[in-house]
C-alpha cells in the first residue's frame, strides 16, 4: 500500500531497532515525516516544539512509561491522537489507555500495514478536528478570506456563504470532496472554486460518468497501453494523467458500476492506478471531486454503491441547496443572467417589470439555477423595445402541474372519451367532472392566490392578467362549490 498523507508522526520507543523498523516501513508506505525518540523524558519537550500531528507511544519504557505520558499528552495536546503499542499480555492496560483517551492500541509485533492504516485514520481524525475548529472560527467571525474565488457563484444567501466558508477550510486537504444536490444547483462551479482555492498547479478536468460501462470508465480515466485491446494502436493517457497535480471532477458518481467503484477506491486509497492492459501501477497526486444528484446513502442501502467507497468520499461533503430554498438569490441571478444573455446576443440589457420578481418568487424551479438561466436567455432573445416580457416565464410555469383539489360535486354526466385529450383527463382528475368555464376560472384564481400567499399583484402576474382585470375577476368570483 502506497499512500500520500501530510502529517508529522512522533514514534516513542526505548528499542532503537523498533524505531528504525517502523520508520522504514512508514516511509515505504508514503508517511515520510517521521520523528523518533528513544528517551521518553524528552517527549513533552518535543511536543512543546509544535508540529506533531500524531504520536505512537510504547506502553512500558524506562524513566517515564507510556501510562504516565498519556494523561499528560491528552491534557496538554488534546487535539493530537495517541496510539499505544503494547505486548499481548498487557491488553487490559491497553484498554485502560483507550478509556483514558488513546486513539487506538497496537499489539507487538506490529504488522506494517496495520501500523500504516491506524496512523492514517489518526491523521485523518486530526485533520478533521482542525477543520471543524477552523470552520467554527469562520462561522463565529463570519469570515471569508478569498471572496474573489466565488465570484462566478452569484449569491447573497446565508446557506451558500456557509458553504463558501467550508470550502476555504477544506480546500488544501488531500482527501476527496463529495458534492451532492439537485441537477442545476452549481456543482461544477463549486468544483472550479475548489480548484482555485486548492493551489493545485495542474488542470481542472471534468468527466461525466453517466453511461460509462466498466471498460469505458477504465479507459477514459486511466488510459491504456498499446495493444491492450483491438484498436489500441498506441499508448493513450487517461484523464487522471491530464489532471496530474490538478483536480478531476467525476460527475454522476452514483451511476458507477461495481468494478469501476473498486478501481476508484484503489485510486483514492493508494494513490495509484493501472492503465488498461498494464501490470505496472502509476502514481497519481490528482485531487478528486465527485458529484451526484442522487442520494448515495440510499444507493448504499440498496446495495448499488459500495459502503467503503461512500465513506471514503464522504470525508468532505458539500450539499448544495436547491434554488427554491435560497430565493433571496433570484433578483441577483435575474440581473446577472440578463446581462450575460445580452452580452452573448450583442444587445443592450433589457429592463424587466417588478411583477416578474413576484412571479419568480412563487415558482419552485425544478431545474434550479440552470433552469432560470435558460428561461432568462430565451426571454432576452425574444425581448422587444428593450423590455423583458413575462410571457416566456409564464409559459414555463404553465407546464407545471397544479396540485389536485377535487370538487365535492357529484360526477357530471358530461360524456367523455378516455384518452381523447390528456388535458381533459387532467381536468376531470382535478374536479371529478369536466368543469364549466366559471369553475375552471375560480379554481385558477384560488390556486394563484394560495401560491402568491395572498399577493394580488403576484397572482395576477402568474395568470397573465393585468392587476385591474384580475381584481374585477376576483370580485366576481363565485362562491366555493
Superfamily in which the 144-321 domain is placed by CATH: P-loop containing nucleotide triphosphate hydrolases (3.40.50.300)
pLDDT tier, 312 (very low <50, low <70, confident <90, very high otherwise) = confident
The domain locations on the chain are 9-133, 144-321, 324-398, 422-476
Please, which residues have CB within 8 angstroms of residue 249's CB and are 6 or more apart in sequence? 187, 188, 191, 204, 205, 206, 207, 289, 290, 291
Assign 477 to helix, strand or coil.
coil
Q: Is the pLDDT of residue 207 over 90?
A: yes
pLDDT tier, 89 (very low <50, low <70, confident <90, very high otherwise) = low
pLDDT tier, 261 (very low <50, low <70, confident <90, very high otherwise) = very high
pLDDT tier, 141 (very low <50, low <70, confident <90, very high otherwise) = low
CATH for 324-398 (1.10.260.40, 1.10.8.60, 3.40.47.10, 3.60.15.10): 1.10.8.60
Q: Report yes or no: 55 and 80 within 8 Å, Cβ to Cβ.
A: yes
Provide the grid cell at 86: 503494547
Provide the grid cell at 444: 385558477
Phi, psi of 302 (to 5 degrees): -90, 0
Q: Which fold has domain 9-133?
A: Rossmann fold (3.40.50)
Written as one string, the DSSP assignment of 303-370 is TSS-HHHHHHHTTEEEEPPPGGG-GGGHHHHHHHHHHHHHHHHTSPPPB--HHHHHHHHT---TTHHH
CA–CA separation, 321 and 362 (whole Å): 17
The pLDDT value given to residue 289: 97
pLDDT tier, 410 (very low <50, low <70, confident <90, very high otherwise) = very low
The pLDDT value given to residue 424: 57
CA–CA separation, 230 and 215 (whole Å): 13
Superfamily in which the 422-476 domain is placed by CATH: Homeodomain-like (1.10.10.60)
The pLDDT value given to residue 417: 45
Answer yes or no: same fold for 9-133 and 144-321: yes
The pLDDT value given to residue 331: 94
Provide the grid cell at 323: 434554488
How do 104-107 and 82-86 pair as beta strands?
A: parallel
Q: Is the pLDDT of residue 351 over 90?
A: yes
184 or 443, which is more confident: 184
Q: Over the chain, what is the mean pLDDT? A: 85
Phi, psi of 153 (to 5 degrees): -100, 100
**Where is mean pLDDT largest: 115-119, 134-138, 292-296?**
292-296
Greatest CA separation for the chain: 99
Please, which residues have CB within 8 angstroms of residue 267's CB and are 6 or more apart in sequence? 240, 273, 284, 288
Mean pLDDT of the 371-393 span:
92
pLDDT tier, 176 (very low <50, low <70, confident <90, very high otherwise) = very high
- On the question of a cis peptide bond just before residue 415, with omega within 30 degrees of 0, the verdict is no
Range in 100-104, 153-157, 333-337, 372-376 with the lowest mean pLDDT:
100-104
CA–CA separation, 98 and 81 (whole Å): 11
Amino acid at each position: 500500500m502506497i499512500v500520500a498523507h501530510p502529517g508529522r508522526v512522533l514514534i516513542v520507543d526505548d528499542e532503537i531497532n523498533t524505531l528504525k523498523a517502523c520508520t522504514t516501513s512508514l516511509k515505504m508506505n508514503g508517511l515520510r515525516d517521521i520523528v523518533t525518540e528513544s528517551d521518553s523524558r524528552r517527549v513533552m519537550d518535543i511536543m512543546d516544539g509544535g508540529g506533531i500531528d500524531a504520536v505512537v507511544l510504547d506502553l512500558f519504557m524506562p524513566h517515564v512509561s507510556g501510562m504516565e505520558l498519556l494523561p499528560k499528552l491528552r491534557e496538554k495536546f488534546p487535539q493530537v491522537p495517541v496510539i499505544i503499542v503494547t505486548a499481548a499480555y498487557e491488553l487490559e492496560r491497553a484498554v485502560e489507555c483507550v478509556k483514558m483517551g488513546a486513539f487506538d492500541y497496537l499489539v507487538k509485533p506490529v504488522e506494517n500495514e496495520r501500523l500504516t492504516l491506524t496512523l492514517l485514520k489518526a491523521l485523518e481524525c486530526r485533520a478533521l478536528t482542525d477543520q471543524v475548529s477552523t470552520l467554527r472560527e469562520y462561522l463565529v467571525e463570519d469570515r471569508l478570506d478569498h471572496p474573489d474565488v466565488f465570484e462566478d457563484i452569484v449569491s447573497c444567501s446565508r446557506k451558500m456563504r456557509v458553504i463558501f466558508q467550508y470550502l476555504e477550510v477544506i480546500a488544501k486537504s488531500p482527501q476527496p470532496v463529495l458534492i451532492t444536490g439537485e441537477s442545476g444547483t452549481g456543482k461544477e462551479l463549486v468544483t472550479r472554486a475548489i480548484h482555485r482555492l486548492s493551489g493545485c498547479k495542474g488542470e481542472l478536468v471534468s468527466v461525466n460518468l453517466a453511461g460509462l460501462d466498466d471498460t469505458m470508465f477504465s479507459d477514459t480515466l486511466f488510459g491504456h497501453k498499446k495493444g491492450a485491446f483491438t484498436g489500441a494502436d498506441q499508448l493513450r493517457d487517461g484523464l487522471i494523467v491530464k489532471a496530474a497535480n490538478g483536480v478531476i471532477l467525476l460527475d454522476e458518481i452514483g451511476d458507477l458500476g461495481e468494478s469501476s467503484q473498486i478501481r476508484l477506491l484503489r485510486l483514492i486509497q493508494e494513490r495509484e492506478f493501472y492503465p488498461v492492459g498494464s501490470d505496472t501501477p502509476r502514481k497519481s497526486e490528482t485531487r478528486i471531486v465527485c458529484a451526484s444528484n442522487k442520494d448515495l446513502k440510499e444507493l448504499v442501502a440498496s446495495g448499488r454503491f459500495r459502503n467503503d467507497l461512500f465513506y471514503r468520499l464522504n470525508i468532505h461533503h458539500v450539499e448544495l441547496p436547491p434554488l427554491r430554498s435560497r430565493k433571496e438569490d433570484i433578483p441577483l441571478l435575474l440581473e446577472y443572467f440578463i446581462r450575460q444573455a445580452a452580452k452573448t446576443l450583442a444587445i443592450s440589457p433589457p429592463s424587466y417589470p417588478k411583477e416578474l420578481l413576484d412571479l419568480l418568487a412563487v415558482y419552485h424551479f425544478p431545474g434550479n439555477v440552470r433552469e432560470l438561466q435558460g428561461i432568462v436567455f430565451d426571454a432576452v432573445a425574444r425581448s422587444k423595445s428593450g423590455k423583458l416580457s413575462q410571457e416566456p416565464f409564464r409559459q414555463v410555469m404553465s407546464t407545471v402541474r397544479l396540485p389536485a383539489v377535487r370538487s365535492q360535486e357529484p360526477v357530471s354526466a358530461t360524456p367523455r372519451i378516455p384518452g381523447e385529450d390528456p388535458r381533459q383527463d387532467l381536468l376531470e382528475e382535478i374536479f371529478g367532472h369536466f368543469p364549466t368555464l366559471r369553475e375552471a376560472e375560480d379554481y385558477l384564481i384560488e390556486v394563484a392566490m394560495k401560491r402568491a400567499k395572498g399577493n394580488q399583484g403576484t397572482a395576477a402576474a402568474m395568470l397573465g392578467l393585468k392587476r385591474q382585470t384580475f381584481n374585477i375577476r376576483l370580485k366576481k368570483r363565485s362562491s366555493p362549490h
